[in-house]
Amino acid sequence: MSDDPRSPGENTGLQGVLALPEFRKLWLGQIFSQLADKFYIVLMVFLIAQYWAGATPPEGGALVEAAGAFNLSIEGRAQWITLLATGIYVANTIPAMVLGLVAGVWADRWRKREVMVASNGIRAGLALLTPFCLLDGPHWLGLSWGYWALLVITFLESVLTQFFAPAEQAAIPMLVPTRQLLAANSLYQATSMAATIVGFALGDPILRALKYGLGALGIANGEFALLPLCYGLAALSIAWIRVEETPRRSHDENIWREISDGLEVLKQRPSVRSAMLQLVLLYSLLAALYVLAISLASAIRQLGPTQFGTLLAMSGIGLALGAVAVAQIGHRFNRRRLASAGLGTIAWSLVLLGQLRGSLGFTLTLCAVLGVGAALLAIPAQTTIQEDTPESMRGKVFGLQNNLINIALSLPLVLAGAIVSRYGLLPVLWALAGLAVAAALLEQPWKRC
């Protein structure tokens, strides 16, 4: 019999972790919150296309001049939408790259449930402000005030997300027994990937259905109901969680000292440091794949460069399937060997993607296999960080993790395209595969653990 009061049974797979009522509430909150994050980006692009991108771009204006200075073509409507959407992406990315550590400190000082409920509730309130951005008003840099207001709202939404993310990660070990953490993280990863696919794939049709469906009933601007609904449901689900937690009294402590304490955890605990480096490497490889997918798709006659999302979707499906497999049987294997197997699978997939490029069937299959490898690496690494980080330090460590991962996602997006243009696709795939093999060997999977 289990001695953990949170565990109603002995099942360590998905069925067992979903049987935990408090974790189930957190999981439902994660679903709605993740969907809302993806729907938010889709809504911003939807609004830009509807209200700020006319048939032809505006002439003059500082924004147009700045685009010209960087040799960006905005002669057509599609280029103008892309330029304005880039502003949304930048406003969403900046807090993710710089605020994780500070947000993690405050996530440790406050109750995790309250942080998650408040962040979702405030994000719902911010989403309710977006319709007001369509009102007429002054123009700045060639655009109406509403676009700039959307940038501010996007920035604030992203700031709140940086508080939600470490609090959510730190809450999982509070609600799940240690022996079920692997399954819980598997479910978390699978849900996150599914929300990404569903959110980006179905976001636009759902927004259009709300806009025109509710419009036919006499309810204008129905598309604006989606985000407050999702964020509100996330806040409501998490608010029902029952967990005993005493907030730390840290108001007299220096915030930079607490950040230093979080970094000290990595220094003192090699297992946490190694797991975090694995995650940074993984997300760097995946970010590079986002760029390389365009070249891979362009070599396939049935796809072409504009259909690169198909390859990314296949890797996402593979990751979700791998997450389910890890949840069900991952506890039977040593995590060092799981990580090595994941890195080896990624390396093998990258090499074969280069050798078999141009073949639709092989490329889709290898993208799915690469996703499985990513699951074998990411889920045990995340579980190790949760288990080996002291409870009082989890917010700081997960805040640092979010910082590093967002940087790892951003830099390859900038560098990979330029490197491929100069050296070609095949050498870059081999170099990434070599990096994965080197990381796998560093794990020394042949040793007994």
Q: What is the pLDDT of residues 196-205, one digit of tens each?
A: 777 877 788 8
Q: Which two tokens stand for residue 25?
A: 């509430």
d(CA 404, CA 397): 11
Q: For residue 164, what are the contacts with CB-CB under 8 A and spacing of at least 6?
A: 33, 115, 116, 119, 120
C-alpha 147 chain-centroid distance: 25
Categorise residue 293: left if φ over 0, alpha if ψ from -120 to 50, beta otherwise: alpha
Ordered DSSP codes for 342-398: HHHHHHHHHHHHHHTTT-HHHHHHHHHHHHHHHHHHHHHHHHHHHHHS-GGGHHHHH
Q: Does residue 180 have a pLDDT over 70?
A: yes
Contact yes or no for 341/424 (Cβ under 8 A): no
DSSP state of 50: I
Supply the pLDDT for residue 130. Answer: 93
d(CA 77, CA 57): 6
Question: Of 154-158, 186-190, 432-436, which one has max mean pLDDT?
Answer: 154-158
Q: Which two tokens stand for residue 414?
A: 């900038």
Element (H, E) at 299: none
**Section 116-133 average pLDDT:** 95
Supply the pLDDT for residue 236. Answer: 96
Q: For residue 383, what are the contacts with CB-CB under 8 A and spacing of at least 6?
A: 181, 182, 185, 335
**165 vs 252, residue with greater confidence:** 165
119-123, 244-248, 332-336, 423-427, range with the lowest pLDDT: 244-248
DSSP state of 57: P
Is 262-449 in the same CATH topology as 19-178+204-242? yes
**Section 391-407 average pLDDT:** 83
Contact yes or no for 177/111 (Cβ under 8 A): no
Q: For residue 134, what are the contacts with CB-CB under 8 A and spacing of at least 6?
A: 47, 51, 146
143-157, 177-191, 244-258, 271-285, range with the lowest pLDDT: 244-258
The label of the residue with tokens 């123009």 reads: 139
Q: Does residue 10 have a pLDDT over 90?
A: no
Q: For residue 302, what are the contacts with CB-CB under 8 A and spacing of at least 6?
A: 360
Amino acid in position 405: I
Residue 263 CB-half CA count within 13 A: 11
Q: Does residue 77 have a pLDDT over 70?
A: no
d(CA 27, CA 351): 36
d(CA 223, CA 198): 17
Question: Of 70-84, 148-162, 428-442, which one has max mean pLDDT?
Answer: 148-162
**Section 424-434 average pLDDT:** 85
Backbone angles phi, psi at 144, to 5 degrees: -70, 160
Angle, nearest 10°, between helix axes 145-175 and 100-109? 50
Name the residue ranges covered by the structural domains of the chain.
19-178+204-242, 262-449
Q: For residue 355, what are the contacts with CB-CB under 8 A and spacing of at least 6?
A: none
Supply the pLDDT for residue 1. Answer: 33
d(CA 53, CA 75): 12
Backbone angles phi, psi at 139, to 5 degrees: -110, 135
Q: Does residue 7 have a pLDDT over 50?
A: no
Q: Does residue 101 have a pLDDT over 80?
A: no
Ordered DSSP codes for 112-146: HHHHHHHHHHHHHHHHHHGGGGGS---EETTEEHH
Q: Does residue 37 have a pLDDT over 80?
A: yes
Helix, strand and coil content of the chain, in percent to the nearest 5, comes to: 80, 0, 20
- Convert 75-113 into a string of H (helix), E (strand) and C (coil): CCHHHHHHHHHHHHHHHHHHHHHHCHHHHHHHHHHCCHH
C-alpha 199 chain-centroid distance: 12
End-to-end CA distance of the chain: 27
CATH code at 262-449: 1.20.1250.20
Supply the pLDDT for residue 30. Answer: 93
Supply the pLDDT for residue 64. Answer: 54
**Section 67-90 average pLDDT:** 64
Q: Which two tokens stand for residue 151?
A: 């940038």
Supply the pLDDT for residue 373. Answer: 92
Which sign does the torsion angle of CA 335, 336, 339, 345 carry?
negative
Q: Does residue 65 have a pLDDT over 80?
A: no
Q: For residue 370, what are the contacts with CB-CB under 8 A and spacing of at least 6?
A: 289, 315, 318, 345, 346, 349, 350, 353
Separation in Å, CA 101 to CA 46, 263, 301: 32, 10, 45
Q: Does residue 27 have a pLDDT over 70?
A: yes
Q: For residue 311, what are the contacts with CB-CB under 8 A and spacing of at least 6?
A: 293, 296, 297, 303, 363, 364, 367
Q: Is residue 2 very low, low, confident or very high in pLDDT (cuts 50, 70, 90)?
A: very low
| Structural class in CATH, domain 19-178+204-242 | mainly alpha
**277 vs 262, residue with greater confidence:** 277
Q: pLDDT tens digits, residue range 212-259?
A: 888 888 887 888 999 999 999 999 999 999 887 766 655 556 667 777
